[in-house]
Amino acid sequence: MEISRPKLVRKMSVRYRLLAIALLPTLVIFPILLGATMWRWNAKFDGALISKVRSDLTVAHQYFSRILENNGEQMKALGESVALQSAVESGDRHRLLRLLQERREALQLDFLYVADIDGRVLSFAGGKGPSSIDVLMPVFANAVVGRASAVVDIFSPEELQSISPELAQRASIDLIPTTNAAPSNATKSLSGMVVHAADRTSLADGRQILVVSGTLLNRNLRFIDTINDLVYQAGSLPEGSEGTATLFQDDVRISTNVRLFEGKRALGTRVSSQVRKSVLGDGNIWLDRAFVVNDWYISAYEPIVDSRGKRVGMLYVGFLEAPFRRTKFLTISLVALAFVAVAGFTIPLFMRWAGTIFRPLEKMSNTINLVENGDLEARTGIRDHGDEIEQVAGHLDILLDRVQERDQQLREWNEQLNRRVEDRTAELREANSRLEAATKQLVMSEKLAA
C-alpha cells in the first residue's frame, strides 16, 4: 500500500529537499538551541545578581543588628559601672550630669539619661530632655523586668524638640518630588528614627534605675557610609558600577549615599510606590531591580520594625544595573555575531555539499529526458570517484550505451528484414509475371488447337 505524502513534500524537488536538510540545522535548530541557551544564561546571570544583592543585604542587616546589640550592651555596662552607681548614690546632680555627658560623647550618642524605676528622669545629657518617661513603652517595659533592649523607635517632632531643638532640626527633612513615588501632599518629614536602648541596674542601697540612650539616624551619614564601605569594598563591583546604601523612615530617605546632581545626597527623595507596597505594606523583602531616584539599580530592601512591631522604615542596599546590562548586551551581541560568522562560513559549505548530491541527480534526470525525446547520444558524463550517486550515474551511462547498442542492432535487423522482404517481393513479382505469361501461352495454345 502506497503511503501518501503531504502535497507540499510531493511538489518539492530533490534540490530543495537537500537544501532544507543542509540548512535546517544552521538556520533553524541551532538558532533555537542558541536562543534557549542564552535565555537560560540570562536567567542565571540575573539570578547571580540577585544572589549578590541578597548577600549584601545580609551584611547590612547584620551591621544594623550589631549596632542595636552594642547600644544595649553599652547601657548594661554603663549601668553596672561603679562610676555611674557612685554618682547616682551620691546625689550630686552635677557629678552625674558630667559623667553622663562624658559617656555620651565617648559613645557618640545623641542623648543619655538616667531615670528611676517609676519613670522620673534623674539626669539628662544631650539636651533638656523630658522630666519623666512612660515606663510602659516596650523598650522601658523590657528594661524594668531586667531585659536590656535596643530597638528602633520613631520620635515625634514634639518629643525631639523637648530633648533638643538641634535634634529636631536634624530630623527635619524637606521632601523632594521623586519619579514613581506614591502620591503625597506632604512637604516635610519632621519625625525622627532613633536607636533607643535601655537597661535596668540595681544600686547598693537597693534602688533600681534605668539607663537610657538614643542615637538619631536621620542625616547620620557616618552610619550609612560605614554600611556602604562594609558591603561594597573596593573591587567588589565592576568598573562603572557603584554600590549604594540607604535608611528609610517610612518611604523617605533619611540617610543615604545615593546622589542627586552635583554630588548632593538624595535626602528627602522617596522610594517607588511598588517597593513601598511590597516592603512597607506587605512586609516582604524586595530582591529585584528597582528605580532608585534617577536610575535602575539591582536592589534589596527589608522592612524595619519599631519596638511595637510596626513597620516604620526600610534598609536598602543596591548597585547600579547599567554596567551589568551593558555586559549582557555585549555578550549576547558577540554570540550573535559569532553565529552570523559561523553561518556565513558553513552555509556555503553546506550548499556546496548539497550540490554534490543534487547536481548529479539533475544531470541524470536531464539525460533521461533527452533520451526520451530521442537523443540516444545523451550521457551524464559524470566521473566515478567512488561516490554512490556518481556510481549510479556511471551505471546509467553504461545502461544507455547498451540501450543505444540494442537500438542500433534493432535498426540493422530492421534494415536486413526490409531488404529480404523487398527481395522476396521481387521474386514473387517475377514468378507472377512468368505465371501470367505461361497462362497466356496456354490459353493461346488451346485456342489454336480448337
In a domain, 410, yes or no: no
In a domain, 278, yes or no: yes
Write down which residue in 167, 189, 219 finishes a domain: 219
In a domain, 23, yes or no: no
What tens digit of pLDDT does each residue of 62-108 get? 999 999 999 999 999 999 999 999 999 998 999 999 999 999 999 99
Q: Is residue 246 within 8 Å of residue 258, measured between CB atoms?
A: yes
Cα–Cα distance, 272 to 372 (Å, whole number): 81
In a domain, 79, yes or no: yes
What tens digit of pLDDT does each residue of 346-360 get? 777 777 776 676 677
CATH value at residue 291: 3.30.450.20
**Are residues 66 and 197 both part of a single domain?**
yes
Mean pLDDT for all residues in the chain: 88
Over residues 389-411, mean pLDDT: 81
Q: Is residue 61 within 8 Å of residue 315, measured between CB atoms?
A: yes
Cα–Cα distance, 412 to 424 (Å, whole number): 18
**Are residues 127 and 83 both part of a single domain?**
yes
**Are residues 278 and 153 both part of a single domain?**
no
**Are residues 206 and 304 both part of a single domain?**
no
What tens digit of pLDDT does each residue of 10-34 get? 445 666 776 777 677 777 888 888 8
Query: DSSP letters along 49-62, please?
Result: HHHHHHHHHHHHHH
**Are residues 65 and 154 both part of a single domain?**
yes
- b/e sequence 19-36, b meaning 16+ C-beta within 10 Å: beebbeebeeeeeeeeee
Cα–Cα distance, 251 to 401 (Å, whole number): 94
In a domain, 367, yes or no: no
**Are residues 212 and 270 both part of a single domain?**
no
Cα–Cα distance, 217 to 202 (Å, whole number): 30
* pLDDT tier for residue 176 given thresholds of 50, 70 and 90: very high
* pLDDT tier for residue 1 given thresholds of 50, 70 and 90: very low
Geometric angle at alpha carbon 22, from 20 and 389, rounded to 5°: 100
| AA letter at 186 | A
What tens digit of pLDDT does each residue of 189-209 get? 999 999 999 999 999 888 999
Geometric angle at alpha carbon 73, from 145 and 140, rounded to 5°: 30
Instruction: State the total domains in the chain.
Output: 2
In a domain, 66, yes or no: yes
In a domain, 232, yes or no: yes
Cα–Cα distance, 367 to 362 (Å, whole number): 8
Geometric angle at alpha carbon 303, from 300 and 306, rounded to 5°: 155
What does the block give as the cell for 120? 522620673
Share of the chain above pLDDT 90, in %: 52
**Are residues 69 and 210 both part of a single domain?**
yes
Asked if pLDDT for residue 2 goes beyond 50, the answer is: no
In a domain, 349, yes or no: no
* pLDDT tier for residue 316 given thresholds of 50, 70 and 90: very high
Q: Is residue 243 within 8 Å of residue 227, measured between CB atoms?
A: no
Geometric angle at alpha carbon 373, from 372 and 374, rounded to 5°: 90
What tens digit of pLDDT does each residue of 25-72 get? 777 888 888 889 889 998 999 999 999 999 999 999 999 999 999 999
What tens digit of pLDDT does each residue of 266-308 get? 999 999 999 999 999 999 999 999 999 888 999 999 999 999 9
Place of cell 505469361: 437
**Are residues 64 and 183 both part of a single domain?**
yes
Q: Which domain holds residue 114?
A: 60-219
| AA letter at 91 | G
Write down which residue in 320, 355, 372 finishes a domain: 320
**Are residues 156 and 69 both part of a single domain?**
yes
The 3-state DSSP composition of the chain as helix, strand, coil percent (nearest 5) reads: 55, 20, 25
**Are residues 72 and 209 both part of a single domain?**
yes
Q: Is residue 296 within 8 Å of residue 326, measured between CB atoms?
A: no
Q: Is residue 279 within 8 Å of residue 182, measured between CB atoms?
A: no
**Are residues 68 and 177 both part of a single domain?**
yes
Report the pLDDT value the prediction gives residue 10, as an integer from 0 to 100: 47
**Are residues 199 and 234 both part of a single domain?**
no
Max distance between CA atoms of the chain, in angstroms, equals 200
Task: Name the DSSP class of 261.
Answer: G
Write down which residue in 219, 249, 273 finishes a domain: 219
- 217 vs 345, which has greater pLDDT? 217
Q: Is residue 160 within 8 Å of residue 168, measured between CB atoms?
A: yes
